[in-house]
Structure 1
């Protein structure tokens, strides 16, 4: 019987019949379709040339042009005549495309107030000379930008988004006195530059999560700052927040290496602080934050809290409605939710599970609650709700035992 053996060589396929009467036969493969050879090539090699007008029809009178690449064709070039096709545009949004260069923004009469090129492949901020002075919002997040200095060409910016780029140093901010919000998260920034931040008197939100910052600084003159995010950095302590004592409302410090001793910077009152996230740090107790009575939402997940005595100080927080303590050792306790609620009676949510009136909504009433002998419906398979079910079963058994003794 005949057998066949297939050998693959570069550029050819060789089929050999293993018998003495036949020589090896070499067959050339069919040619690839031309368009396959053009994928991911630049313009000189046939990179697909697709501009905004190829992806969507719009008129010269449009005041907003919004084209999202996830919903259709991917734009590869903005086009050198972009603003000639929509001279009245005030909001230009080209999100999630394959644009590699900022172009087509030349104009003598720019009306553009918002420019969003979120999620493209842009490597440089450029061609902002004409549109920059009128911009109020610039969103260049999720690109490959390394230098942010050209934002200085946008003196009227109110919101600036440059998250998820490759920026190492804060630059170009010092003259943007109207800024209220900056997002520089997920970059490579190591220092909060005072020379860049101190000249922003109206700044209300500063988002710097997921960088390489080792110390909070440069914000002493930001007297209107309400939200500060420095999570997922390299902090070991919280410092230099004196200038925000009366204004700070939300502070995000999760995923750092902050210890109890490192929370000394929170010793002031912070009367307006409503949200504090210090999850995934190295805290062993909550004493340093026990005076922050305005807190409503407190995140302490994933620390090193080993017993309920370590969180007794949270009983001072009369406005606390939600606390996250999961992924601490105390979370393994059989009566975890019940004990946490006893320490903080004002709670309406523990971890991601709301406290129901039938659960631990009022711990003081559990002992006197009359159990009818039927467990409450709606219990699902989540761990916290199973604990609730177990607690109900215990109460039911105790109640039945008490009724039996009374009957005897």
Structure 2
């Protein structure tokens, strides 16, 4: 195989062992998505640190990897995908200072490790859905973060987002245990986010959302499957009438009102979509 190959993609091939990669001296993208790889190997075994030293994109999602520390042999990585593995921590991330996007979804991670996240000052997207994380933390140096996904974890409150108030555009927190009081913290959604246009709080424990009325840049607000019972509980969303285009409130007690759609449309005139249906 050509040692000057720039991209190597071997998806769904039942590969168990990473080997023979040390000869690729110009590899830019390595994708072994959906295999049976147990260990990140050969990433720095070649001449001058090949193939890891030249990699910019590494996709090892849907394997059975338990340790991601060998990613340290890929100092120029900009995108790292390790979703659906068996990782328990973030060890190894801290050396990847050029990263812009990380997907560690569907692993067994319990903590957002500040020591590993702090050096990632260029990070723009962090995807951590379907783990076992109990607290948002470790983001103080990530001042370029635009997308944050911590869906399907064990969160009870939204906090420690003070460094993202000028950059965060999308925040996904569905399927957690966040109650109303967990959305008013001064370091969390109690702040003003200048660019936040998508907020997903579906399938949590919210009883009202009047506390979100100050998020003036919101275009999409997902609140399905909470415990919101009356229109008084969403009254302050009327202040989002200039920007808000889509709202999901299905599977709340509020939806049982026979005039549910009509009242929402009157409350927020800018809406073009209520739940999955266009107005």
**TM score, norm. by length of structure 1:** 0.66
* SS of aligned partner of 1:174: helix
> Where has structure 1 moved over 6 Å in runs of 4 or more?
none
2:149 is the counterpart of 1:229:
yes
Alpha-carbon offset, residue 106 of structure 1: 1.8
Matching residue of 1:121: 36
State how far apart, in whole Å, the 2-side matches of 1:256 and 1:97 are. Answer: 35
State how far apart, in whole Å, the 2-side matches of 1:250 and 1:133 are. Answer: 31
**Alignment partner for residue 254 of structure 1, among 174, 177, 186?**
174
Alpha-carbon offset, residue 86 of structure 1: 2.4
Matching residue of 1:104: 20
2:235 is the counterpart of 1:312:
yes
Alpha-carbon offset, residue 321 of structure 1: 0.2
State how far apart, in whole Å, the 1-side matches of 2:193 and 2:247 are. Answer: 19
State how far apart, in whole Å, the 1-side matches of 2:206 and 2:56 are. Answer: 41
State how far apart, in whole Å, the 2-side matches of 1:329 and 1:189 are. Answer: 34
* SS of aligned partner of 2:111: coil
2:256 is the counterpart of 1:332:
yes
Gaps of 5+ in 2: 45-49
* SS of aligned partner of 2:19: coil
Matching residue of 2:140: 220
**Alignment partner for residue 66 of structure 2, among 124, 127, 146?**
146
Alignment deviations for residues 164-202 of structure 1 (CA, whole Å, 9 cap, x no partner): 000001011112111000000000000000000000110
* SS of aligned partner of 1:178: coil
* SS of aligned partner of 2:62: coil
Matching residue of 1:396: none
Alpha-carbon offset, residue 88 of structure 1: 2.3
State how far apart, in whole Å, the 2-side matches of 1:236 and 1:201 are. Answer: 26
* SS of aligned partner of 2:53: helix
Alpha-carbon offset, residue 96 of structure 1: 1.1
State how far apart, in whole Å, the 2-side matches of 1:312 and 1:343 are. Answer: 7
2:277 is the counterpart of 1:353:
yes
**Alignment partner for residue 274 of structure 1, among 197, 209, 215?**
197
Alpha-carbon offset, residue 293 of structure 1: 0.6
**For this pair of structures, how many residues does the alignment match?**
270
Alignment deviations for residues 206-260 of structure 1 (CA, whole Å, 9 cap, x no partner): 0000000000000111000000000100000001000101110000000001011
State how far apart, in whole Å, the 1-side matches of 2:93 and 2:204 are. Answer: 31
**Alignment partner for residue 222 of structure 2, among 285, 299, 304?**
299
Matching residue of 2:211: 288
1 or 2 for the larger relative contact order (CA 8 Å, sep ≥6)?
2
Alpha-carbon offset, residue 296 of structure 1: 0.1
Alignment deviations for residues 5-64 of structure 1 (CA, whole Å, 9 cap, x no partner): xxxxxxxxxxxxxxxxxxxxxxxxxxxxxxxxxxxxxxxxxxxxxxxxxxxxxxxxxxxx
State how far apart, in whole Å, the 1-side matches of 2:32 and 2:140 are. Answer: 32
Alignment of 1:109-188 (within 5 A): 110-129=25-44, 130-188=50-108
**TM score, norm. by length of structure 2:** 0.96
Alignment deviations for residues 247-284 of structure 1 (CA, whole Å, 9 cap, x no partner): 10000000001011001221111010000000000001
Q: Name the structure where helix makes up a greater proportion of residues.
A: 1
Gaps of 5+ in 1: 1-84, 356-408
Matching residue of 1:13: none
State how far apart, in whole Å, the 2-side matches of 1:175 and 1:98 are. Answer: 30
State how far apart, in whole Å, the 1-side matches of 2:67 and 2:104 are. Answer: 12
RMSD of aligned residue pairs (Cα, Å): 0.7
The structure with more radius of gyration: 1
